[in-house]
Amino acid sequence: MKYEHEIEKRKTFAIISHPDAGKTTLTEKFLLFGGAIQTAGAVKSNKIKKHAASDFMEIERQRGISVATSVMSFEYKDKLINLLDTPGHKDFAEDTYRTLTAVDSVVLVIDCVKGVEEQTERLMEVCRMRNTPVIIFINKMDRDGQNPFDLLEEVEKKLNIKTQPLSWPINMGREFKGVYNIHNKSLLTFGANQKATDNDLVKLPDLSTNEIVELVGERDANQLREDMELINGVYENFPVEDYLEGHLAPVFFGSAVNNFGIKDLLDTFIQIAPAPRPRMTDTREVKANEDKFTGFVFKIHANIDPKHRDRVAFLRICSGKFERNTFYTHVRNEKKVRFSNPYTFLAREKNIVDDAFPGDVVGLFDTGNFKIGDTLTEGEMMTYTGIPSFSPELFKELVNNDPMKTKQLEKGIRQLTDEGVAQLFTQHGGNRKIIGCVGDLQFEVIQYRLLQEYSAACSFRTLPYFKACWIKGDPTKVADFMRYKQANIVEDKEGNFVYLAESEWYLNTEKNNNPDIKFYITSDFKHEL
């Protein structure tokens, strides 16, 4: 119980969404409320020459999308909030999956016009695997979208989670008048481009009075009364325990670009979101309030500053107190390591920290010692679990366009795959390199970064594979299978054998023909096909 106060103070969460739902905009409004930034960066605006605070890679600034997870810390109402802004683009889903292992809760952003999209469903599946608590923010209410009741029904049906609205919109699009906070019984009236203040908040404990009519007009006042009667009939008091167990998602409505409805969301979040939670290792469960420090690396990023060739490992602290210039055990390497300049991040701005507590994410300068999933402890030999690689969906052979830069290419692809940008498989003694990705845009990013950061020109040759499966089983049977399917067998970076199937039919056939071999779709051998 040594660090109870510090632990209770921290809230570590990720914002996830489908591309263009408004996730990066919401991130920046949170930072505005926390005083971490003064102006929201408009990625696509020519008027503001500042770019989005959370998009720091050159390719992100050119394209106006987030392709790597950014970590930002800020204080709000005596809470220290660690916010992880994830890529929305489906081609970078694996980075988001890994980020979800490092957070204690999630805010899911849904576009009221498009509703629940395919990528949203996939992200939610990962949250459901871990029962991560989820708050839903339905964005863009200043546009004409779907009926709020229909949206709630769609969310419950497609995302397989119960919902409960804690705020409710009055109209939408051009007639959007504001949001009624069911929890606090107050109304926030809407004005386009309004500032982040409480000036327009009106306490309305009783909707039967004429005060609501004066604020929104008789028609909308009657509609709100009807909606509230229906909502109060369906939902009881908000059960926080159901939310914390991942069974119920509170829902908020607003417009991130207009900074509207964000404060309701943020104020409720700091009240109900969980503090750092216990986590499983391969030997035992570790509680956040244990005295001894432990943590794991969930992300590695090379060349945050291209001028300085730095490589940073992002460490999530799970228990105890992390201290600068203190020796810790790198469990996989069985070596003692210490860090003289650990950082916290506000996007590209870095601040050296002397200590950090459970829930915090610190950046550690790395010379190539770390891989994703590595655990640091004060000596206990254990490894945090649940940070697997998922089977890629696209496979391409890496082709070296400049034999004079072979060393640079080797180093570059090794570092980029250590970061988790893609997965590297090798064949024929390591001469043939196959890159596995979730989407085509990842190959473009790899090609761009290899050229910009390592001066190595490459191209890709598409391969006809459908899925990668990690294989395990009777050693004799596995050896026979590998000999028989030699052209389809590769090794991952950890030396595990992987079968690349050309189609679903081939995969099912091999599975049926080899009952003594198990085929897994994740590298931790936990999710069998």
pLDDT of residue 234: 86
Express each pLDDT in 109-125 by its tens digit.
Answer: 999 988 888 778 878 87
pLDDT of residue 426: 93
Looking only at the bridges linking them, the beta strands covering 248-253 and 134-139 are parallel
14 burial class (0-12, 13-18, 19+ CB within 10 angstroms)? buried
Q: Is 29 domain-assigned?
A: yes
Residues 432 and 363 in one domain: no
Give the whole-angstrom CA distance, residue 294 versus residue 307.
32
Residues 216 and 356 in one domain: no
Most confident option among 171-180, 182-191, 344-353: 171-180
Express each pLDDT in 354-407 by its tens digit.
Answer: 888 999 988 888 877 888 889 999 989 998 887 767 778 889 999 999 989 999
Strand locations in 293-393 (E): 294-302, 311-319, 322-323, 328-330, 335-337, 343-346, 349-352, 355-356, 361-365, 375-377
Instruction: Determine the 3-state secondary structure of 135 from DSSP.
Output: strand
Q: Is 310 domain-assigned?
A: yes
pLDDT of residue 44: 34
Most confident option among 293-302, 409-418, 439-448, 474-483: 474-483
Read off the DSSP letter of residue 177.
-
Domain encompassing residue 231: 4-272
CA 76 to chain centre: 21
When comparing pLDDT for 136 and 18, which is higher?
136
pLDDT at 304 over 90: no
Domain boundary among 272, 296, 321: 272
Residues 223 and 306 in one domain: no
Q: Are 70 and 347 in contact (CB under 8 A)?
A: yes
Provide DSSP, 246-277.
Answer: TSEEEEEE-BGGGTBSHHHHHHHHHHHSPPS-
pLDDT of residue 67: 38
Q: Are 364 and 371 in contact (CB under 8 A)?
A: no
Mean pLDDT in residue range 46-62: 44
The residue among 159, 143, 145 whose CA lies nearest residue 106 is 159
Q: Is 302 domain-assigned?
A: yes
Facing residues of 255 across strands? 260
Q: Is 384 domain-assigned?
A: no
pLDDT of residue 54: 47
Residues 84 and 155 in one domain: yes
Q: How far is CA 484 from CA 124, 431, 480, 519, in A?
A: 39, 20, 6, 16
pLDDT at 347 over 80: no
How many residues does this entry show for the chain? 529
pLDDT of residue 378: 92
Most confident option among 40-54, 206-220, 325-339: 325-339
Read off the DSSP letter of residue 486.
G
Residues 420 and 402 in one domain: yes
Facing residues of 179 across strands? 169, 188
Residues 291 and 233 in one domain: no
Q: Is 357 domain-assigned?
A: yes
Residues 456 and 307 in one domain: no
Structure confidence at residue 517 as a pLDDT band (50, 70, 90) = very high
Phi-psi region for residue 22, left (φ > 0), alpha (ψ -120 to 50) or beta?
left
pLDDT at 238 over 80: yes
Express each pLDDT in 460-481 by its tens digit.
Answer: 999 999 999 999 998 999 999 9
Q: Is 388 domain-assigned?
A: no
Q: Which two tokens stand for residue 67?
A: 């392709």
Give the whole-angstrom CA distance, residue 166 versus residue 187.
12
The residue among 182, 180, 114 whose CA lies nearest residue 143 is 114
When comparing pLDDT for 498 and 372, which is higher?
498
pLDDT of residue 56: 41
Number of compact structural domains in the chain: 3
Looking only at the bridges linking them, the beta strands covering 489-491 and 458-462 are unpaired
Structure confidence at residue 98 as a pLDDT band (50, 70, 90) = confident
Give the whole-angstrom CA distance, residue 181 versus residue 175.
18
Q: Which two tokens stand for residue 431?
A: 């001469």
Mean pLDDT in residue range 417-442: 83
Give the gyration radius of the chain's Cα atoms: 25
pLDDT at 53 over 80: no
Phi-psi region for residue 274, left (φ > 0), alpha (ψ -120 to 50) or beta?
beta
Residues 439 and 465 in one domain: yes
The answer to which of 40-54, 129-143, 252-266 has the lowest mean pLDDT is 40-54
Residues 259 and 164 in one domain: yes
Facing residues of 330 across strands? 335, 376
Q: Which two tokens stand for residue 100?
A: 């979800």
pLDDT of residue 1: 53
Express each pLDDT in 64-84 by its tens digit.
Answer: 444 344 678 888 888 888 888
pLDDT of residue 69: 45
Q: How far is CA 363 from CA 328, 337, 412, 422, in A?
A: 15, 14, 21, 21
Residues 342 and 482 in one domain: no
The residue among 321, 325, 342, 314 whose CA lies nearest residue 10 is 321
H helices of 394-487, in order, are 406-419, 440-454, 475-484
- Count of Cβ atoms closer than 10 Å to residue 505 Cβ: 10
SS3 content of the chain, % helix, strand, coil (to 5): 30, 30, 40
CATH code (residue 164): 3.40.50.300
Structure confidence at residue 47 as a pLDDT band (50, 70, 90) = very low
pLDDT at 497 over 80: yes
pLDDT of residue 276: 92
The residue among 13, 468, 112, 316 whose CA lies nearest residue 120 is 112
Facing residues of 472 across strands? 518
Q: How far is CA 120 from CA 125, 308, 441, in A?
A: 9, 36, 18
Domain boundary among 272, 302, 331: 272
Q: Is 386 domain-assigned?
A: no
E strand or H helix at 342: none
pLDDT at 458 over 90: yes
**353 φ/ψ angles, rounded to the nearest 5 degrees:** -115, 145
E strand or H helix at 93: helix 93-99
Q: Are 256 and 262 in contact (CB under 8 A)?
A: yes
Q: Which residue has the tokens 């996939």?
A: 122
pTM: 0.79
Q: What is the residue-averaged pLDDT of the chain?
A: 82
Give the whole-angstrom CA distance, residue 312 versus residue 319.
21
Q: Are 392 and 436 in contact (CB under 8 A)?
A: yes
Q: Is 193 domain-assigned?
A: yes
pLDDT at 151 over 90: yes
CA 152 to chain centre: 23
The answer to which of 89-93, 108-112, 398-402, 515-519 has the lowest mean pLDDT is 89-93
CATH code (residue 489): 3.30.70.3280
Looking only at the bridges linking them, the beta strands covering 375-377 and 328-330 are antiparallel
Q: Are 120 and 110 in contact (CB under 8 A)?
A: yes
Domain boundary among 322, 345, 377: 377
Structure confidence at residue 457 as a pLDDT band (50, 70, 90) = very high
Residues 314 and 252 in one domain: no
pLDDT of residue 309: 56
Determine what percent of the chain is predicted with pLDDT higher than 70.
Answer: 86
Residues 292 and 253 in one domain: no
Give the whole-angstrom CA distance, residue 416 versus residue 99.
17
Structure confidence at residue 37 as a pLDDT band (50, 70, 90) = low
